[in-house]
Amino acid sequence: MSSNALHVPVMLRRCLDMLAPALAEPGAVVVDCTLGLGGHSEALLAAFPDARLVALDRDPAALRLSAERLEPYKDRATLVHAVYDELPEVLDRLGIAAVQGVLFDLGVSSMQLDEAERGFAYAQDAPLDMRMDQSTGISAAEVLNTYPPGELVRILRSYGEEKFARKIVEAVVRERAKEPFSNSARLVELIRAALPQAAKRTGGNPAKRTFQALRIEVNGELPVLERAIPNAVARLAVGGRIAVLSYHSLEDRLVKQVFAAGAANTAPPGLPVVPERYQPRLKLLTRGAELPTEEEIAENRRAAPARLRGAERIREDVL
């Protein structure tokens, strides 16, 4: 069975419903900032036959596979090898000033998790790579083998929210002095040995938080996201909508902050009339973050941690 056949897009119906009011007009442009295997993109093209799609992915393998999947729609789909914070440059190159819809499905894609040799999954032994674009950047093994101990502790705490970061890093430093890390199984074993018994009884695989932290560091995910969400909001036309699927609290918090700032009145207190430039430019489309249904989680276990937030652009920027 192909990866495409196995791939179930997360919260697909809800994403389509959220973006629909903005994509009804002929010629509407929707951007899928995280193409992956193309499940969301295929559904967008099928649901909105007059819309044009621009889809970004940093992973050349994902672009190849999704190009096959989207072949029936190739006259309306433009696939671009780019990281999603490069959206403004991509749109400028394509001569697109503003778009009507933007979708982000953050985190690691199904294909990257399912292909053992990419090194994202802690459940099977593989080279410690974790790069979403294997043609550039440093691998997870290089991070483990070369970063100073204090920097490794910071990464595990900040990006993995790992309470036992110091214990894990002490073990990593001892072990890398004997032999550099190259494969995931050795790291998983080390983490199991380093953690107290009580910490291993709950919360799933004890390596999960460390692997998340390394992946975020290797791919610069949070700094990229900090730039990408405001960039996307800035390119939305009035009436345009943005939907963002996050998979851990660090991502969700960033999205929440950008949306909340855009939906806030920024006038100094006490003004009798609020000038246009201080009025909110976004309207929130979700109360808090929406969660997947129990049925969806039963069908697709990778949907379980998903959090969906949406916003609509309600006015232009006023200088």
Residues flagged as binding site: 38-40, 57, 84, 105, 112
The span from the CA of 114 to the CA of 199, in Å, is: 27
The half-sphere exposure of 56 on its side-chain side, counting CA atoms within 13 A, is: 24
| Token pair recorded at residue 315 | 């006015």
Beta carbons of 242 and 160 less than 8 angstroms apart: no
The half-sphere exposure of 270 on its side-chain side, counting CA atoms within 13 A, is: 0
The span from the CA of 221 to the CA of 194, in Å, is: 27
Residues at the binding site for S-adenosyl-L-methionine are 38-40, 57, 84, 105, 112
The span from the CA of 61 to the CA of 307, in Å, is: 26
CA angle, 105 as apex, 104 and 108 as ends, to 5°?
A: 135
SS3 304: coil
Pairing assessment for the beta strands 282-284 and 307-313 based on DSSP bridges: antiparallel
The span from the CA of 82 to the CA of 227, in Å, is: 14
Beta carbons of 77 and 41 less than 8 angstroms apart: yes
